[in-house]
Chain A
């Protein structure tokens, strides 16, 4: 029985475990974060130079109850005051996703609460609803993270058209690989961002990846190879490289492509609003370049705070709210789908 039938807020307990963060949050009406707990495993995965799926899954199961309980405690609420339980069910690492899905499902089942499976990318996009209470669709959105690079047309709540995506590496993946090659280590995004601040972005001209015949798709593997070739070439010749210059030049190449594609989409689709989301949306060069481009085009620019860019459950709670009010419910047989496509159910 609900203790508080009279409340008008829709409160959702959300769980996210698609990669290496165990996260839970309580969100009211899709916009107000009552709690947002993130338990990062990054220290463990740093030992291996990247996320190890089996270790990630093991850490999720060890932490998940504490994280969920903390989210409820921080919100000063009990499960009896929740209206639904939501969880990321894809895309992501299947073993990692399964922990969150099984946990969320069991909680919802035991408490007779509606249960809603959420797409991880939809969560990232929805982080902007939390940060910007006035933001409403339609708008354009660039989602960039360690696993994803998507240029998306947000037509309405929960309605998406994918304009472009990566043909090979995700943008964040390229950051990780290049950071490893130039000795900055894992995670690559923040480390390259930092090193690039004291480097010259015009020092080396790296290629701007294009995908033949698809204007909005991305390709970063060629750029990654170009950086590796550059490093090998200099090493063979015994020439000392400046790590900061490589970082800055590589970063510029990525940012140019991301901003260029976004600008083309703004022109073609006439977006009045444009948002960025995902872990790489924390990158300072990307933020600055996107903001400048949007200003030039007189387009309203939106980006979440870094805490909402990283994988978190608050964004899942935001996305789930719009599914909830549409009456979307998942059944008890919901499975984790590692390659779930945006807009599919």
Chain B
């Protein structure tokens, strides 16, 4: 299966092409230019370098959220446009599952987190070892979802991680921009053994999105380009304010 993957959920823009067990290309750029300016030129570069016939692509994978609302939409619209043009299915990869795949096979508690401002993060807790999963994942799924990705306060996340690490004896492995932004807070509140991912394994990369997508595709988790939409994990501010007002 040949997958074209896109991740523009955070600061880096990243595209990759993966065919079965081989990563043919991965191009990641973490620079000031916007995803709108960089994403398609990067795709074009990859196509040219690989002499890629787009018709040979089986599916397009997109990091589907959480992340920057605008960034998610740029990646999503690009994937949807390509899917529409080529009549190919899409694979929605939860952003934090993509990040967790940087540590495929790790027995640690893998904890990707994205800054959601005000001491909040979008975070998930995963492992690749044997542990009772909270979400009913498929038996052949190598990823064990202990806590599905959600918006959570950093302090609350730390409490949960301390408990989980205590119970399982596993080391906590922190990655993503949230781990960087809230490092002081994490240091203050995490009492169990933990460490931080290095630069090359801490940010979004489309290669991991492609590999996760292949596993999701094996579980039949494909959608049409028209169906695909980002999963923001948060309603818009206007909707939140309105709901509060109506609730009062």
A residues lining the B interface (CB < 8 Å): 47-48, 52, 54-55, 57-58, 60-62, 64-66, 68-69, 79, 94-95, 98-107, 109-111, 331-336
Q: Which residues of A contact B238 (CB under 8 A)?
A: 48, 52, 54-55
Quick one: given A99-B73, A103-B80, A335-B36, are A110 and B230 in contact (CB under 8 Å)?
Answer: no
**Which residue, of B73, B225, B230, has the highest number of chain A Cβ atoms within 10 A?**
B73
**Nearest residue, chain A, Cβ from B40:** A332
A57 and B77 within 8 A (CB): no
A61 and B78 within 8 A (CB): no
Among B23-41, those with CB < 8 Å from A are 33-34, 36-41
Would you mind naming 18 contact pairs between A and B with Cβ atoms under 8 Å apart?
Answer: A52-B238, A58-B236, A60-B73, A61-B230, A65-B83, A95-B70, A98-B77, A100-B77, A105-B40, A106-B77, A106-B78, A109-B82, A111-B85, A333-B33, A333-B37, A333-B40, A334-B37, A335-B34
Q: Which residues of A contact B86 (CB under 8 A)?
A: 110
Task: Specify which of A57, A105, A106 is in contact with B69 (CB 8 Å cutoff).
Answer: A57
B226 and A332 within 8 A (CB): no
B residues lining the A interface (CB < 8 Å): 33-34, 36-41, 43-44, 54, 69-70, 73-86, 225-226, 229-230, 232, 236-239, 242
Given contacts A65-B83, A333-B38, 17 further A-B contacts (CB under 8 A): A48-B238, A58-B69, A61-B73, A102-B78, A103-B78, A106-B79, A106-B80, A106-B85, A107-B81, A107-B85, A109-B81, A110-B85, A332-B40, A332-B44, A333-B33, A333-B41, A334-B37
A106 and B36 within 8 A (CB): no
Minimum Cβ distance to chain A for residue B73 (Å): 5
**Nearest residue, chain A, Cβ from B83:** A65
Cα distance A47–B242 when bound, in Å? 9
**Nearest residue, chain B, Cβ from A109:** B40
**Nearest residue, chain B, Cβ from A112:** B54
Cα distance A107–B60 when bound, in Å? 13
B239 and A55 within 8 A (CB): yes
Quick one: given A95-B70, A110-B54, are A105 and B78 in contact (CB under 8 Å)?
Answer: yes
Q: Which residues of A contact B77 (CB under 8 A)?
A: 61, 64, 98-103, 106
Q: Which residues of A contact B81 (CB under 8 A)?
A: 102-107, 109-110
Q: Which residues of A contact B229 (CB under 8 A)?
A: 58, 61-62
Q: Which residues of A contact B74 (CB under 8 A)?
A: 98, 102
Cα distance A297–B33 when bound, in Å? 51
Q: How many A-B residue pairs have CB under 8 A?
A: 111
Determine chain A's interface SS by DSSP, over half rule: helix
Cα distance A95–B77 when bound, in Å? 12
Cα distance A107–B88 when bound, in Å? 12
Quick one: given A48-B242, A61-B73, A61-B230, are A336 and B84 in contact (CB under 8 Å)?
Answer: no
Minimum Cβ distance to chain B for residue A313 (Å): 15
Minimum Cβ distance to chain A for residue B8 (Å): 9
B80 and A335 within 8 A (CB): no
Cα distance A47–B238 when bound, in Å? 10
Q: Which residues of B contact A54 (CB under 8 A)?
A: 69, 236-238
B44 and A109 within 8 A (CB): yes
A107 and B84 within 8 A (CB): yes
Cα distance A310–B54 when bound, in Å? 37
A98 and B82 within 8 A (CB): no
- A-B CB proximity, top 8 nearest: A106-B81, A102-B77, A110-B85, A54-B236, A65-B226, A332-B40, A52-B238, A103-B81
Task: Specify which of B36, B54, B226, B237 is in contact with A101 (CB 8 Å cutoff).
Answer: B36
Q: Which residues of A contact B84 (CB under 8 A)?
A: 65, 68-69, 107
Q: Which residues of B contact A55 (CB under 8 A)?
A: 236, 238-239
A57 and B54 within 8 A (CB): no
Q: Which residues of A contact B78 (CB under 8 A)?
A: 102-103, 105-106
A61 and B76 within 8 A (CB): yes
Q: Which residues of A contact B236 (CB under 8 A)?
A: 52, 54-55, 58
Q: Which residues of B contact A106 (CB under 8 A)?
A: 40, 77-82, 85
Cα distance A99–B78 when bound, in Å? 9
Cα distance A205–B242 when bound, in Å? 37
Cα distance A109–B41 when bound, in Å? 9
A65 and B69 within 8 A (CB): no
**Which residue, of A95, A99, A101, A106, has the highest number of chain B Cβ atoms within 10 A?**
A106
Cα distance A129–B82 when bound, in Å? 31
Task: Specify which of B36, B232, B237 is in contact with A102 (CB 8 Å cutoff).
Answer: B36
Cα distance A54–B239 when bound, in Å? 10
Q: Which residues of B contact A110 (CB under 8 A)?
A: 54, 81-82, 85-86
Minimum Cβ distance to chain A for residue B69 (Å): 7
